[in-house]
Amino acid sequence: MIQSNSKECAILKAKTGEYIYKNGSEPNELYVLLKGKASRILNLYFDKEVVLFPGSIMGEYSLLSGQNRSSSVRALTRCEYVKITREAIIELTSDKPLSLLSFPKAMATEIINHFKSLEYGYEYFTLRNGESCVRPGDTPNDFYFLVKGRLRESRPDNGKLIHIREYSIPGATIGITRLLENKPHNSLITAVRDTELVRLDKAWITQLMRTNPSGIQNLIRISLHHEDIERSNDEAMAPKRLVAIIPLYSQVPINGFTSHLVESLRKNAKVRVLSESSIVKKFGKIHNLDLLSNERQNVWHYITGQETINDFVICIAKPNLSPWTRWILQQVDCILVVGHANLNCSGLTEWERTLGLYDSNSYLAEKRLVLLHKPNATIKDTRIALEHRRIGNAPVTFHHHIYEGNQLHYDSIARFLSGTAVGLVLGGGGARGLTHIGVIQALHELGIPIDIVGGTSIGSQVGSLVANEMPASQISQRMCSTYSYLWKTQFGRYTDLTLPYLSLTTGSFVSSNFQKFLNGNSRIEDLRLPFFCVSCNLTKVEPKIHTSGILWEALRASSSLPLVFPPFVSEGDVLVDGGYVNNVPADIMRKIYGANVIIAVDVGDNYHITMDDSINNASGWKILFDTTFRGKSCVNIYEVLLHLAGITDWVNQVSRPRPRRHHEEDLRS
């Protein structure tokens, strides 16, 4: 905006105590604070000043609405700021009315300024972490604007709360749809961290319609646009900009971990690192960060100010019960709990138990367990480390394995935090699934990273090797060994056949080969990259997503093509090939892991089968004779089952949401 309207902008300076603008003045410009500190004096609260830090935007709504200033801004120190004239704003918004949404902080601030000029109908307040502003069944008499912070929307389902989305963009609206529809709320909206909101009731909308009828149209348009942004960001894992890093033990090399992670983040973003010592240096020793304390307000405004001018703010906490540790873990978007494989990570530490980190409403931020390993060390016992940290209403939802000194592994975590993680999804398709290996080789040659892997049927088999970071050449050898061993073993081809009451084979050779060649005896949690695969649960009539457990069992379930192999029974559930419910589970990759970029490889056929009508009354022996000695072509039962799985999945895809942006490429050549 400044670059495109440079003639309409100017960089100015203000001395300490000098007013940038005063209450009641005409709104001909808006301002962006570049250096120094200023204070906004609200006309309704003369005894209270809001401290403004670099990056703060002032006077937006007054300029856009034409109303006189409803507050004054005074320099607390020597300040440098940008003045942008009304003409520049008009020029920008006349061509792109929604361009203001690219300045979410400005949108939030302008709305607040306007609220302060209203006589009634609004409430500006802070929702503490763990508190709720909307509950299921509430009558929609008002709605909310998000000023800063993060809210989580959940919906009750069979006694559990299902996470729907999170709101983090300043200016986002909450509850306006239900208010307009006059329907009771059906969700619970809770503050993940201290969140500033403005509540508006129906009287405010009535006043707006009377004084500015076109304003209500713009409000609804912007509100719905924000809601659409929040939905898409939730699907793509919105960036976690305020992050806490805390080691399980003081022996964990947390400084080295933080240094590597910041190096990865700074490749594409501006990062500020804060610690208890840096806060103490600025504000003095921290004694009290309880509700309404001056120390809490000062520190909070400083951190949110840093969040405004940086892409990421990394806050380092110590594994103790200090006021800083207790408080900062409540105020972030994401908590990275860092352990080391050489240390005992099996049970909860004393500080985790005392804080109630995983079962308290005070710590609702997303939690990721990061386990550090010595280079080339074997990853094991992840299940034990996760066991007690996946229980409660705020558990660890993701885990990462990092080899110390491998910067690429830190790059992967940085992509997760920035919402740019890359997911690879490999579909089922029988022997055609071996072509996945060529795609993997191409991705490697192009330098495209892979952060998460998922698959179905043979795609799950290849994907498990990718998740273990095996090169494409070794994957090719492993897959060929898996199936050549099955058929080349002496008498193996015949001894695995059985009376076709349940299936043509016993499945024992497949199971043993998965254990032998596909790292099958390890657990899914011990793979270097996050991994999942899909099977079809005939007992519960639903897809089953395998994200933990014995690897070979998950692969066996996902690849159990009916009639050819017997179903796999796990914990009483009868599981068969996942191709019948989700042959290319890209939607699961986005929904569960929030990958922003998904590379989905579909090796299924075009699902068209043609045969001569003489097949209607032919016996199997005749078909065998014709295909063997007369050169006639006919699909076999295995191909029919593969096509059936593909068609079933294709029908299911109709009801799945399409990605907002997608590109399809035919790779058959």
Q: What's the average model confidence in pLDDT over 429-454?
A: 92
* Whole-number Å distance between alpha carbons of 502 and 562: 9
Q: What does the pLDDT read at residue 2?
A: 42
Q: From 68, 78, 72, select the one nearest 21 (Cα to Cα).
A: 72
Q: What does the pLDDT read at residue 278?
A: 93
Q: What does the pLDDT read at residue 232?
A: 47
Q: Which residues of 590-615 are buried (b: 16+ CB within 10 A; e: fewer)?
A: bebbbbbebbbbbbbeeeeeeeeeee
Q: What does the pLDDT read at residue 516?
A: 78
In terms of phi and psi (left: phi > 0; alpha: psi -120 to 50; beta: otherwise), the region of 24 is: left
Of residues 186 and 668, the one with the higher pLDDT is: 186
Q: From 663, 598, 655, 665, select the one nearest 236 (Cα to Cα).
A: 598
Residues 33, 107 contacting (CB under 8 angstroms) = no
pLDDT band for position 595 (cuts 50, 70, 90): confident
CATH of domain 242-418: 3.40.50.300
Across the chain, what does the average pLDDT equal? Answer: 80
Of residues 269 and 634, the one with the higher pLDDT is: 269
- 114-235 adopts what CATH topology? Jelly Rolls (2.60.120)
Q: What does the pLDDT read at residue 598?
A: 93
Q: What does the pLDDT read at residue 653?
A: 59
Catalytic residue among 457, 464, 535, 560: 457
Residue-wise pLDDT for 493-504, tens only, equals: 556 777 777 888
* Whole-number Å distance between alpha carbons of 508 and 491: 14
Q: Do 114-235 and 242-418 have matching folds?
A: no
Q: Phi and psi of 371, rounded to 5°?
A: -110, 120
pLDDT band for position 457 (cuts 50, 70, 90): very high
Q: What does the pLDDT read at residue 205?
A: 67
Q: Is the pLDDT of residue 555 over 70?
A: yes
pLDDT band for position 632 (cuts 50, 70, 90): confident
Q: What does the pLDDT read at residue 147?
A: 81
Q: What does the pLDDT read at residue 122?
A: 66
Residue-wise pLDDT for 578-591, tens only, equals: 988 999 999 899 88
The DSSP secondary-structure symbol of 24 reads: T
Integer Rg of the chain from CA: 29
Q: What does the pLDDT read at residue 66?
A: 57
Q: What does the pLDDT read at residue 293?
A: 66
* Whole-number Å distance between alpha carbons of 194 and 125: 10
Q: What does the pLDDT read at residue 638?
A: 64
Residue-wise pLDDT for 315-365, tens only, equals: 999 999 898 999 999 999 999 999 999 998 988 999 999 999 998 788 989
Of residues 400 and 665, the one with the higher pLDDT is: 400
* Whole-number Å distance between alpha carbons of 407 and 612: 59
Residues 455, 439 contacting (CB under 8 angstroms) = no
Q: Is the pLDDT of residue 461 over 90?
A: yes
Say how many Å lie between the first and final Cα of the chain, rounded: 46
Q: What's the average model confidence in pLDDT over 427-445?
A: 90
Select, from the ranges 357-361, 566-570, 591-595, 614-618, the one with the highest average predicted confidence (pLDDT): 566-570
Of residues 635 and 90, the one with the higher pLDDT is: 635
Q: Is the pLDDT of residue 459 over 80?
A: yes
pLDDT band for position 240 (cuts 50, 70, 90): confident
Q: What does the pLDDT read at residue 254?
A: 96
- 9-95 adopts what CATH topology? Jelly Rolls (2.60.120)
Q: What does the pLDDT read at residue 655?
A: 52
Residues 30, 84 contacting (CB under 8 angstroms) = yes
* Token code pair at residue 22: 């005063």
Q: Which residues of 362-387 are buried (b: 16+ CB within 10 A; e: fewer)?
A: ebbbbbbbbbbbeeeeebebbeebbe
Q: What does the pLDDT read at residue 453?
A: 97
Question: In this prediction, what percent of the chain has a pLDDT beyond 70?
Answer: 75
Place of tokens 């010595």: 374
Q: Is the pLDDT of residue 553 over 60?
A: yes
Q: What's the average model confidence in pLDDT over 203-207?
A: 68
Q: What does the pLDDT read at residue 446?
A: 93
Q: Is the pLDDT of residue 8 over 70?
A: no
Q: What does the pLDDT read at residue 48?
A: 52
Residue 181 corresponds to which amino acid? E
3-state secondary structure 550-590: EHHHHHHHHCCCCECCCCEEECCEEEEEHHHCCCCCHHHHH
Which DSSP string corresponds to 92-149?
Answer: HHHH-GGGGGG-HHHHHHHHHHHHHT-SSSEEEEEE-TT-EEE-TT---SEEEEEEES
Of residues 647 and 102, the one with the higher pLDDT is: 647
Catalytic residue among 138, 234, 577, 587: 577
* Whole-number Å distance between alpha carbons of 453 and 593: 10
* Token code pair at residue 317: 């906490």
Q: How many CB atoms lie within 10 A of CB 438?
A: 13
Q: What does the pLDDT read at residue 617?
A: 66
Q: Is the pLDDT of residue 65 over 60?
A: no
Select, from the ranges 117-131, 460-474, 512-526, the one with the highest average predicted confidence (pLDDT): 460-474
* Whole-number Å distance between alpha carbons of 82 and 93: 19
Q: What does the pLDDT read at residue 95?
A: 47
* Least confident stretch, 202-211, 486-495, 522-531: 486-495
Q: What's the average model confidence in pLDDT over 123-136?
A: 87
Select, from the ranges 84-93, 278-287, 603-612, the one with the highest average predicted confidence (pLDDT): 278-287
pLDDT band for position 373 (cuts 50, 70, 90): very high
- 422-601 adopts what CATH topology? Cytosolic phospholipase A2 catalytic domain (3.40.1090)
Specify whether 577 is catalytic: yes
Name every residue whose Cβ is closer than 8 Å to that of residue 227 and which is 6 or more positions away in sequence.
Answer: 172, 173, 176, 177
**Domain boundary assignment for the chain:** 9-95, 114-235, 242-418, 422-601, 613-655
Q: What's the average model confidence in pLDDT over 366-378?
A: 94
The DSSP secondary-structure symbol of 536 reads: E
pLDDT band for position 142 (cuts 50, 70, 90): confident
- In 202-301, the DSSP E strands lie at 242-247, 271-275
pLDDT band for position 615 (cuts 50, 70, 90): low
Specify whether 457 is catalytic: yes
pLDDT band for position 189 (cuts 50, 70, 90): very high
Q: What does the pLDDT read at residue 267?
A: 93
